Amino acid sequence: MVAPFVSGFVAIIGRPNVGKSTFLNQVLGYKVSIITEKPQTTRDRILGIWNGHDAQVIFLDTPGIHLADKALNKYMVQKAVSTTTEADLIMLMVEPKDTLKSLSVISDYLKKANRNTILVLNKIDLMEQGLVTKKLEELNTCYNFISSFGISSITGKGIDKLMEHIKTLLPEGPRYFPEDMVTDMPVRFLCQEIIREKVFTLTRKEIPYAVAVMIEEFREGPPTFIRGVIHVERPSQKAIVIGRNGRMLKEIGIQARRDIERLIGDKVFLELFVKVTKNWTKDPLKVKRMGYQ
């Protein structure tokens, strides 16, 4: 007897910087979520589609859940929390330094969502095997998880086993997206995320958290023409992003163009500008204008 085809939505939640986006990119074998070493890199819900012969798993990568004060941060947390109620299954991703205390707020959200939830300990490549089991036993007590796994999003260890388990928990259903599709995010969105990733990577201190990127013009080529605006909150931040004699902005453009060309498979002419939009992260209306809605 042929096993039924299963499909469903899996929300990946957790604190900032635990490796949610790295996991998604590793599973898909394709970069749909930007990654930096800085926390709170992901600002929106990113959909990634894993296709198998017997299943389609639609992952929902979410911003890290944290104590939020600014309008932008509140948006990010709300996006993550609302995703838990839309999913068939929740995957709570944690890291070795997580504790019952650090997960207390998230466990409250899980109780409200009332969905089947898997505990996934990431970064086990940084731990001794005996400590992996001990940490899973400790964190298992923060919520009524249906199962728990240790994985490494960097090396891929444990991910195949986790994926097989996820398939057993999904309902019988259709292939919601075409088999060759890995995300539903528009190319414009992916391009602006790539530019923002380069700002995160190349700048320092508060600059990455004050930046939003908007694509104002996108014309298919060859070459493809893209005009992007990097929004910051203060003139001093604008000066840093531009750099002495424009060197920083030029480097951001070089690195972003290289990745965008790899993404779209075409030569790219990328034009970048920097604009001051005062205190945009604190103003709900300005946050919405930046596309976070």
**What's the pLDDT tens digit per position in 15-53?**
988 999 999 999 999 888 877 777 777 778 889 999 999
Handedness of CA 134, 36, 190, 209 (dihedral sign): positive
* pLDDT, tens only, 117-154: 999 999 999 988 889 999 999 999 999 999 999 999 99
Answer yes or no: is 77 within a domain. Answer: yes
In a domain, 154, yes or no: yes
Range of the domain at 236: 187-289
Q: Hey, what are 289's tokens?
A: 């204008």
51 in a domain, yes or no? yes
Question: Residue 41 has what pLDDT?
Answer: 77
pLDDT of 186: 87
Nearest to 136 by CA among 156, 150, 155, 146: 150
CATH number, residue 197: 3.30.300.20
Structurally, the chain folds into a number of domains equal to 2
What pLDDT is stored for residue 87 in this prediction?
Answer: 93
Neighbours of 265 (CB within 10 A): 7
155 and 13: one domain? Answer: yes
Instruction: State whether 151 and 196 are in the same domain.
Output: no
**pLDDT higher than threshold 90 for residue 73:** no
Q: What share of the chain is helix, strand, coil (3-state, %, to 5)?
A: 40, 20, 35
Q: Domain check: are 156 and 59 in the same one?
A: yes
User: Does residue 163 surpass a pLDDT of 70?
Assistant: yes
Task: Quick: pLDDT tens for 183-217.
Answer: 988 899 999 999 999 999 999 877 888 999 999 99
Q: Is 181 a domain residue?
A: no
Per-residue model confidence (pLDDT) at position 1: 61
**d(Cα 18, Cα 9) in Å, to the nearest integer?**
20
- Asked if residue 199 is part of any domain, the answer here is yes
